[in-house]
Chain A
Amino acid sequence: MSFSEFLNSRRQVCRALVKELGRSFAYVGILGSDVRSTAIRVNRATSDIGEGGAAECGFVIKMHNGRAFFEYSIDDISGDIPTLAARITEAVRTEQSLTDREISVPLPKDTPLVKSFERPCDFESFSDEELLAKCVEIRDAILAKSDKLLNATVALMPFTVSKLFISKNRELDQFYSWVNAMAVAVYREGEKMVMAREGTYSNLMAEAISTLPDHIDRLVTKCEKLATAKPIVPGVYDVITDPSISGLIAHEAFGHGVEMDQFVKDRALAKYYLGNYVASPICNMRDGAAATFSTASYFFDDDGVLAQDTQIIKDGILVSGISDLVSATELGTEPTGNGRRESYKRKAYSRMTNTFFCPGNDKLEDMIASIKHGYMLFETNNGMEDPKNWQIQCTAEYGIEIIDGKLTDNYVSPVVMSGSVPELLKSISMVSDDFKIIGSGSCGKGYKEWVRVSDGGPALKVRVKLA
C-alpha cells in the first residue's frame, strides 16, 4: 500500500487552484485527505466487516486575505479552475454586517519545502478472511475461559492515511497506517454485570494480531475482579497512577491548557505561567507527532507544518505550548506542528498528538511501598479539561486499594479523580523509571472535533480527590 493515487492525480489542479486563488488571497494552502478505514468485528452473535469511522476523502482550502482566514471544504477539485475559484471566493465572502469585526493578523509563513514521507504498511499481506478468522479465534478463546462471560467482542480497526499539502511554496505528501485491536468482554457474577476491555495497537497488522491474544487472560481476570469491585469512599488519597492514568492527567490537566489557540482566546491560564513552576520539579512533559511513535505520529500536520517534539514542562517549569498555524501566526510564534482537523470538513485547531510525562528515577514497587493507605488507579475511561480554571475530571475504570505499602485484592470502580490542576501536578512526589504510551485514544476539543491521540508516561505518585 502506498500514497493515494487519487490525491496524486489532483496535484496539478491543486497547484492551479492555489495560483488562481492567489490572485485574490495573499496566502492559499490546500490539504487533500484520503483516509481508508476498515472495521472488522465479531462477537458471540454477529460478525461484521465495514468501513471504519475515520474514512474520508476530500479537500480543504485555507486562505488569508491579509486580515482574516477563510476555508472551503469540498469533495473534489476538478473542472474549470477559475470557475471553482470564483465559487470558493463567493462562498467565503464575509457578510457586510461582519466586515468591521474581521480580525487583522499577519500572513502565515510559507517556507519553501517539497518532500514525501512514507511509513511501511503490511495491511495488504492479510486478507479479510484471515483477519476475520483471527477475530473469531480470539473471541472463542475468551469465551472458553468462563461460563460467566455473556459476550466477547473482538475488533480490528486498521486505517491508512494519505495527505497532500500544497501551497505556493510547499508541496508535501505523507502515507502511514495504524491499527487498533481490541477485545471487550461482558461478564455476569450473580446480579453484578461488568464490562472490561483490553487493546493493542501498531502501525503493522502482524504485530497487532500477534499481541492481542496475550491479553486474553488479563481480560478475563479483570472481569472477575471488577465483579467484586465496590464504590470508593469519597475522599483525598495518596494515589499511584498507571501509565494510562498518568497520560490522562498529562492530557486533561495540562495538554488542553497549552493548546495555544486557547492562549489567543485568553482561555488558558497556562499563558500567564510560561517560565514559572506549574508542577513538581521532578515532572517533565512532552507532546509531539515526532515526540514518540504512536497513533498520532504523522510527518506533517493539517497546516503543512512538519511534526515536532515539544517539551511542555521541564523540571516542573512550563516552557512551551503547542500551536497550529493560525494561533502561531496570531501570537507571533513558530507553529509546532499541532494543527489537526477531525476531517477535511472541519476547521484545524491546536491539538495534542502524543502527550506524555517523561520517566523519572523511582521504582514502582518503592512507590507503592511508600503509601500507608491509598489506591493505584488503572485505565482511562474518560476525562474533561477546563483550561481556564485549571480544574480537571478524570475517570479511571478501576482502582486497587493499597494498605501498608501493599496492593490488596480490594477493587473499586469506577473512580472519578477531580480537583485543581496545579495542586495535582505539584503533589507529584515520585515518578517511576518505566514508560508506556497508550496508542488507541481519541480526543475532542470541548465536546466535538475528535482526533486520534496517544498519551501515557510512567507511574506517578500524587495526592488527589477521588469519588
Chain B
Amino acid sequence: MTSLDQSPENGVAPTSEGPAAPPQQVVEHSKKSQLLSRLFRSKAATISLIILLLVLVAAVAAPWLAPNDPSAIKLIQRLKPPLYVNGAGTHWLGTDSLGRDVLSRIIYGARVSLTVGVSAVAISGTIGLLVGLLSGYFGGLVDDVFMRICDIQLSFPTIMLALTIMAVLGSGLDKLILVLGLTGWVQYGRIVRSQVISIKNDEFVLAARATGERQWQMLFQQILPNIWSPVIVIGSFTIATNIVAEASLSFLGVGVPPNVPSWGTMLADGRQYIGVADWLTIPAGIAISLTVLAINILGDWLRDYLDPRLKNIL
C-alpha cells in the first residue's frame, strides 16, 4: 500500500509522519485508544455502547442467561403477571398466552434481531459497495442502468417490497435476511457512487493511473480505502433499520416463523392481550426501542468522528 492510500479520509490528524514514524502496530494502537477516549468523552455514546454490549452478551450467551426454555409451552402457566406487578411467582417478566417465559424470549429475541440486522447489512453493503464502485468509476451505460434500478427500487417503499416478497416466499429467518439484504443495497450504492465520482479525478488516483495500475487495482487499492467512512456509517444506521424491519415484518406475520422468539412476534402476540396483559408488549417494545436508539446514537457519533462532513448527506 502506498502512502497515497492512507490519505486522511477520516478527518483525523495523523499522529506522526516521516522517517521517525512509529511502527504500524503502534499507530494502530494509538488510533484505537484515540477512538475509545473520544467515545468515552460522550456520555450518550458510552451509554449506547454499554446497552449494545448487553444486547450482544444476551444474544451470544442466551442459552446460559435465559432462565427458561423460550419455546416451552405450559398452558397452566399462561398469562402469569411479572414480578413487578404482583411481587410473586417465578417469572420475572411474566408469561405469554402459551405460558412461555417472557424474559427468556426477550433474551433469545436479541439473537434474531442482531443476526438479521448484521447479516442483512453484510449482504446489502457488499452489493451496494460493488455496484456503487463500478457505477461511479466507469459511468456511462453501467451508471445509467444502476441509476434506473435505484429509481425503480426507491419507488417501492422498502417495507412494502420486503412484505410482498416475504408473502410469496413464506416466513423464515434465512429468507428474511436475504430479502432485507437484497432490498437495502440501494442506499449504499448511491452514496458509494457519489463518493467515487467525487474522488476519481483526484491527484492520487490520476497518479496511480499514470503508473499503469490496472482498473481493479485502482478501484480496490486506491479508491475503496478512501470511501470507507460513509459505508461504515450507513452500515451502522442500517443495522438499526433492519432490526426495525425484522420486527415490523414479524409483527405482520411474514418475518420469522411464529415459534421463533423474536421481539416483533412477541409484540404481535401481545397486541391481542393489550388490555389485560401489557407485560407481553412493554418489555419487547423497550428492548427494540433501546437497541435501535443505541445504534442510532452510536451511528451519529461514528459519523461525526469519522467525517463530520457526512452530516450533510447521511
A and B found bound together: no
Query: CB within 8 Å of B: which residues of A?
Result: none
